[in-house]
Amino acid sequence: MTTSTAADAAPAVSARPSLLWRDVRFTVLCALGIALFPFVLHPLGGYSTLATQIAIVSIASIGFNLLLGYAGTLSYGHAMFYGGGAYIAAILMLRAMPQHPNLWLAVGGATLGTLVMAVLVGAVTVRLYGIYFALLTLAFAQMVYFIVEQAKDWTNGDDGLQALPNALLPIGPWNLDLTTHLPAFPLGPFGDLSDLRMWYVFAGICLLLVLLLFRMLTRSQFGEVLGAIRENEQRSSLIGFNAPGYRLAAFAISGALTGFSGALRGLFDGTVPVDSLSIDRSGSFVIYTIVGGVQTLFGPVAGTAVIMWLENVLSAKTPAWRLIEGLIFVGVIVFLPRGLATVLRQQRDKNPRALFVRSLRPSTEEPDPLLKAAGEGHRGGVMSIIETFKLGKLFGHFAAVRDVDFRVDPGELRAVIGPNGAGKTTFFNLLSGTIAPSDGTINYKGRDVSRLTGTARVHQGIAKAFQTASIYPDQTVRQNCRLAALAKVQGAFALQVFRRSSRLQDVDALAERAMARLELTGVADVRAGDLSHGDKKRLDIAIALATQPQILLLDEPVAGMSKDEARKTEGLIRRLATEMTVLVIEHDMEMVMGISDSITVLHQGTVLATGTPEQIRNNPRVQEAYLGGHSQAELAG
Amino acid sequence: MEAFFEALLGGLVLGLIYVAIAVGLTIIFGTLRLVNFAHGAFYAIGAYVGLVIAQRIGVGWAFIAAPIAVALFAVLLDRLVLRQFYDKEPTAQLLVTFGIALVVEETLRLIFGATTQQYQMPDALQGSVSLGFFTYPAYRLLFAGGVILMLALVWLFIERTNYGLIVRAGIRDRVMVQLLGGNIRQASTIVFALGAAIAGLVGAAATPIYSIDPATGFAFLVPSFVVVVVGGLGSFWGAVLGGLLIGELQSLTNLAYAPASNVVIYLCMALVLLLRPQGLLGESEVIRQ
């Protein structure tokens, strides 16, 4: 262990300066780009305030992209944060500090206010998906619109708030006036850039900081987990990540960024129209982000710039400008699903999470202290490790599982068999917590866990591999296992937006170990989606194993495998069973009879018999009920 | 009292429009698993086609031309764009159909201008009918009856034909239906065209009551989605119940406190989503889509 750690540390040290260099280069290039932008925009016909407005609105688009691109959910109500931020800032200006308008306080208050709003709205929306999520966010936005429109004393109703005082920006001893003109820059044939104010400098700095923050966030541990949840939520929940928690955090950050942007825009324009809360406003963030490139850092900025420029330049020339905008939008979705950014090649990392993949650590067969811990209490405990009492599950009026009393001793390898439709998978789903029981209880190590979510049960030590392998197809095999290990090491939720997960030593060790156990080390850097069927099934087990379970639930681990693969996997499972309790559903009778310590037979949702392979083989009721039309030789296997 | 009954009938007429659009959304979702944000555009196209035909040729022809034109447009759209989005995630479907809605709306604006338009019914249908202690425009009653008749035919289609069987089966288990073989492709096209034609016909028929402008499609679409969610995605009777409920709610709120009439439906939807996420008559399995 010591040698491998040292060997590992060496490249990390040498990589550090280059990483810092990349950060510096990124910052400098962004700053340059923002500084030069008005000089590009002016000859293209953008009016004097457009550059500042684009810089400000870009921030909202970046926030929106966190939700659409990185959390994978479409909000159709982001105007509530954009307009909300603008109204809060304006009202603070007019009511709280009419004499000494302070921009920090107004914008800070607006950001905080929209953050609170986003947490409240998010708390009720993040459990919904797709159209439901989009419609419920739209519904909240419409309610906010209504409230603002009705609260005429504060908001001036339909007319919006106008003639906001000019906010000053106190920095140290200075009181900066952002409306101060910058010196005019002559641009040769294009006249000169005369009406650029301090506002652009301020908005540009804000945009730069948001870009840096966002870049860090998407590459952090938080961003990594958020991406995993987007790619496979079922798997992410069952390796122990609190998916709704992550989505809520993303929603809150997204809302606050949008509110921040709205506040800046209101103060810059000096007016807050009620339109800033409208459906069209919400839709505009969708358009900006999609056109520019969802899931990319610069996409939303590029999209905002292109579309806002089009609106301002084209609208003067042709009434068809919105049609052109719509055609661009549809064209991008159909032909460039990742937006203009893919054309401009601004996205440097094709697969951002590949960054987290570290070099292959040589796999060793020495006993692993990390996995040893999981085997504690192995064989010889008097208490059962998992036990169910009168467990039942109704789907409508159909009892998929009923009255199941079931008990497994620590260290046992128990097979659960039964004809199709016997309720085996439902029973496993009840044990793993993917579905809640209608009746009865589940005791795990003497404690009732039947009300715990699947995510909580993973952290208690119950892990599951699925009947149809549930993996992250776009990630490498190693990254698949690292995610599971990360959930174990960091817990269900960690708002770790600064640090990368590669800093966590245990994560790599656990992941390597899990891969070695399932003999996947050789394909560690292969994209999981490209694996063979058998390797995918083994990867699914490796993912479950990387959470350091005490009970491993395997739902048909060798289904669909060739004879050789099945025997190989059988051997791997047999080895795992020496370290932990294993429950396995399987139709392969040869395997079931060969590896099980004991067998439970389910039939029509109830337990028909439990016993050693010998007892089950000779049980006449099992032969009759289970075999049906099958030959006895099949069971004898 | 008179105002109350008028609002009640107004709610019925409005609700029936929602029902018609929502039924189309629901059968399309059931068969194609497509969340169609462009469905409001079908309503708008139907309305404008109806407007042109009614003014140039005759009202009767408008009711024939509008659904046919919209069905043709829908099939074309399906073949050219939507087909490749069937198997994509709902968010991608939302985005592309939202984009199509945008394009249609702007195209209509370019052709017909942004102003609100309407066509007049023939004199025979202009009058009012006495309903005991108050009178009500005859055409509105006729419209309500016509929509109910059309919905009954759609119900028969779903319950009594082989295509309807595919719709019902598709709502329950899409994968299973796909395994059954080739005729689902044809059924998809027919159902998509039918759903669109319903919206187009209602658009043409409703224009004398609710005038039309390019944004009307979207204005009707959003409440119709609310209806689908409230009633339960994939449920015919859910769409009927939801549509009437939302229509009446909006109409009666308008009478009691007009400014709240646009927000009350969202409040209703939020409550339903929080208390019974699968919708009033929805089946719980569908919600995960």
As averages over each run of 10 residues, the pLDDT of chain A (637 residues) reads 40 56 92 92 83 96 95 93 97 88 93 97 89 91 93 90 86 84 77 81 96 93 94 94 96 97 96 94 94 90 94 85 91 83 50 32 38 41 82 87 92 90 91 92 92 94 94 94 94 88 86 93 94 94 95 93 90 92 90 91 91 89 67 49
CB-based contact B262 A132, cutoff 8 Å: no
CA distances from B179 to A468, A487, B182 (A): 18, 38, 9
This model's pTM is above 0.95: no
- CB contacts of B113 in chain A (<8 Å) are none
Q: Which residues contact A549 (CB under 8 A, 6 or more apart)?
A: A374, A458, A461, A462, A463, A580
CB-based contact B90 A138, cutoff 8 Å: no
Structure-token pair, residue A99 = 């004499």
For chain A, what are the domain ranges?
55-183+197-348, 382-629
How high is the ipTM of this complex? 0.89
Q: Report how far residue A137's alpha carbon sits from residue B270's, in angstroms, rounded to the nearest whole number.
A: 9
Q: Report how far residue B169's alpha carbon sits from residue B180's, in angstroms, rounded to the nearest whole number.
A: 11
Cβ of residue B257 closer than 8 Å to a chain A Cβ: no
Q: Are B171 and B284 in contact (CB under 8 A)?
A: no
Beta bridge partners of B134: B131
- CB contacts of A77 in chain B (<8 Å) are none
Cβ of residue B95 closer than 8 Å to a chain A Cβ: yes
- CB contacts of A326 in chain B (<8 Å) are 99, 102-103, 105-106
Q: Are A85 and A263 in contact (CB under 8 A)?
A: yes
Query: Strand A439-444 vs strand B128-131: parallel, antiparallel, or unpaired?
Result: unpaired
Residue by residue, DSSP assigns B39-78 as HHHHHHHHHHHHHHHHHHT-HHHHHHHHHHHHHHHHHHHH
Q: CA dihedral defined by A542, A547, A549, A551, rounded to 10 degrees? A: -60
What does the angle CA A461 – CA A456 – CA A508 come to, to the nearest 5 degrees?
Answer: 60
Q: Report how far residue B245's alpha carbon sits from residue A184's, in angstroms, rounded to the nearest whole number.
A: 62
The pair phi, psi for residue A191, each rounded to 5°, is 75, -150
Cβ of residue A337 closer than 8 Å to a chain B Cβ: yes
- CB contacts of A145 in chain B (<8 Å) are 263
CB-based contact A283 B96, cutoff 8 Å: no
For chain B, what are the domain ranges?
2-214
Fold of A382-629: Rossmann fold (3.40.50)
Q: Report how far residue A567's alpha carbon sits from residue A558's, in angstroms, rounded to the nearest whole number.
A: 9
- d(CA A100, nearest CA chain B) in Å: 36
- d(CA B57, nearest CA chain A) in Å: 29
| Coil, strand or helix at B255 | helix
Structure-token pair, residue B279 = 């919708």
Please name the residue of chain A whose CA is at the shortest distance from the CA of residue B105: A323
Cβ of residue B286 closer than 8 Å to a chain A Cβ: no
Residues 178 through 237 of chain B touching chain A, CB cutoff 8 Å:
222, 225-226, 229, 233
Nearest C-alpha neighbor of B176 from the set B24, B33, B27: B33
Tens digits of residue pLDDT in B12-69: 999 999 999 999 998 888 888 888 999 999 999 999 999 999 999 988 899 999 999 9
The pair phi, psi for residue B211, each rounded to 5°, is -55, 170
> pLDDT tens digits for chain B (289 residues)?
788 888 999 999 999 999 999 999 988 888 888 889 999 999 999 999 999 999 999 888 999 999 999 999 999 999 999 888 887 888 888 889 999 999 999 999 999 998 999 888 877 778 888 877 788 888 999 999 999 999 999 999 988 888 888 777 777 766 666 666 656 777 888 889 999 999 999 999 999 999 899 999 999 999 999 999 999 888 899 999 999 999 999 999 999 998 888 889 999 999 998 888 888 988 754 444 3
What pLDDT sits at residue A61? 97
Q: Report how far residue A128's alpha carbon sits from residue A130's, in angstroms, rounded to the nearest whole number.
A: 7
What pLDDT sits at residue A405? 93
Residue by residue, DSSP assigns A255-314 as HHHHHHHHHHHHHHHS-B-GGGGSHHHHHHHHHHHHHH-TTSSSHHHHHHHHHHHHHHHH
Beta strands in chain B (DSSP E): 128-131, 134-137
CA distances from A25 to A17, A28, A350 (A): 12, 5, 19
Q: Report how far residue B232's alpha carbon sits from residue B238's, in angstroms, rounded to the nearest whole number.
A: 5
Cβ of residue B38 closer than 8 Å to a chain A Cβ: no
Residue of B80, B83, B97, B98 for testing the chain A interface, max A β-carbons within 10 Å: B98
Rg value, chain A, Cα: 30
Residues 244 through 303 of chain A touching chain B, CB cutoff 8 Å:
279, 283, 286, 290
CB-based contact B99 A333, cutoff 8 Å: yes
What pLDDT sits at residue A628? 57
Q: Which residues contact A281 (CB under 8 A, 6 or more apart)?
A: A78, A79, A82, A83, A275
- d(CA B118, nearest CA chain A) in Å: 23
- d(CA A360, nearest CA chain B) in Å: 34
Q: Report how far residue B236's alpha carbon sits from residue B64's, in angstroms, rounded to the nearest whole number.
A: 25
- CB contacts of A329 in chain B (<8 Å) are 99, 102-103
Nearest-CB residue to A131 (from B35, B102, B109) = B35
